[in-house]
Amino acid sequence: MPMRTILYAGITANGHYGDSDAGQMPKQEKLNDLFNHAKEAGNIVMGRRTYEIFGADDSFAGLDVVVVSSKASFEGVQTATSLQEMLHYLKKKGYEQAFVIGGVTLHNALLIEGLFDELFINVEPYLAKGLNLGPTDSKITDLELVGHKHIGAGIVQIHYRMA
């Protein structure tokens, strides 16, 4: 069975990528949902900055954590210097899913390369300025709606797969 790459992202109601610098930290309902997905996958993949924000506590116990970073490696954590290296590492370990939680640089790299199979977009109930989620070129990628649900705290999660 080929491994599926899953992007898990949050946007504001007006479509901007959540920016933890802007002071809106993830709500507990979203973290619970995120870790349920991660446990199902057995792994959790993130960029360097996301790891620096998230990685300090025990949230990731029992998960195969992979940090994608061309610049830094972190003690006791698997670092991949490219998307391909990250995917290769997880495939080799036999995972059925690679679960990628961001941030925006890593998500955009996967979107631009077309290296994803499913998307979970969490639409959060506030309006704010923020970052842009890809693509950055003029390509249009059709998606198939798999489902939508309220995961709590006013967050609507929309699930897509590549059409």
- Residues near a second copy (CB under 8 A) are 11-17, 22-24, 111, 119, 121, 123, 125-129, 132-145, 148, 150, 154-156, 158, 160, 163
Which residue number, 77 or 162, has a Cβ lying nearer to a second copy?
162
User: Which residues 6+ apart lie within 8 Å of 2 measured at CB?
Assistant: none
Q: 42: alpha, beta or left, given left = phi > 0 and alpha = psi -120 to 50?
A: left
Q: How many residues does the chain have?
A: 163
Tokens, residue 65: 């954590």
Which DSSP letter does residue 13 get? T
Q: How far is the CB of 94 from a second copy (least distance, A)?
A: 29
Would you say 27 or 48 has its CB closer to a second copy?
Answer: 27
In angstroms, give the least distance from the CB of 20 to a second copy.
13
- Pick between residue 72 and residue 125 the one whose CB is nearest to a second copy: 125
- Which is nearer to a second copy, 88 or 150 (by Cβ)? 150
Could you tell me the smallest distance in angstroms from the CB atom of residue 100 to a second copy? Answer: 15
For the CA atoms of 106, 108, 114, 117, the dihedral, rounded to the nearest 10 degrees, stands at 70
What is the rounded CA–CA span in Å between residue 145 and residue 25? 27
Smallest separation (angstroms) from a second copy to the CB of 12: 8
